[in-house]
Amino acid sequence: MQSKTFTHYLTAILKSLLEFIPIFLFIITFEGVRHNFFIATFVMIIATILFTFYSFHKEKRLPYIALFISLETTLFGGLTLFFKNPAFVQMRDTFYDLILGSVIIVTALFNSPIIKRFFGHIFELKHAIWVKLSYMWGPLLILFAIFNEYVRRSFPPFMWVKYKILVLVITCLFGVYCLIKYRKDIQNFDEL
């Protein structure tokens, strides 16, 4: 039974980690091509677009969050490449985290948590748990936006990439924490 539980956790975590593939590829490319921000940005744009199509094909539904990320990445990444200025793709994360964090909180305030629409196809949770998760994730994303802007304005691009690695680790650990905290509330846990 314990092995089955571990397998369920691992499967749920891996499903969530798929969304990070474009940023993982950005970091790997950035580190592998002598800190070339522009090649890494191009790779991230292509990976994000491909991931959006993959999500649509796999889930047979319009993946709203992947579509939003794809549009935002293409716009800000395109501006970075066109103007040869890394600030645009760095600002993308500020806007993304601030907008998403705010929307998550506001929709929870109106008792209609948007994260249920984003992740309800993966996790079956009671409405009250979706609201609680909204009040956990929303402020975290807003905090990420504030720190992203601080790091973007205060440090060179290679330090911003290091900061992104830290954000990825924190996001993954926080996701695992939420999964463990609410594992008994996941109604489809045996199906994950």
Number of domains, the chain? 1
102 three-class SS: helix
pTM over 0.85: yes
Burial class (CB in 10 A: 0-12, 13-18, 19+), 80: buried
pLDDT attached to residue 179:
85
In this structure, how many other beta carbons lie within 10 angstroms of the beta carbon of residue 77? 24
Question: Of 74-78, 104-108, 114-118, 134-138, which range is least confident?
Answer: 114-118
In this structure, how many other beta carbons lie within 10 angstroms of the beta carbon of residue 48? 23
What ranges in 33-156 are assigned the alpha helix state H? 37-59, 64-83, 87-109, 114-119, 127-154
pLDDT tens string 60-105: 877 778 888 899 999 999 999 999 999 999 999 999 999 999 999 9
pLDDT attached to residue 1:
42
Q: Which domain holds residue 148?
A: 2-191
* Residues whose CB is less than 8 angstroms from the CB of residue 69 and which lie 6 or more positions away in sequence, other chains included: 19, 22, 48, 52, 96
* Residues whose CB is less than 8 angstroms from the CB of residue 129 and which lie 6 or more positions away in sequence, other chains included: 182, 185
C-alpha–C-alpha distance, residues 142 and 125, integer Å? 24
Residues of the chain above pLDDT 90, percent: 67
Mean per-residue pLDDT over the chain, rounded: 89
pLDDT tens string 144-154: 999 999 999 99
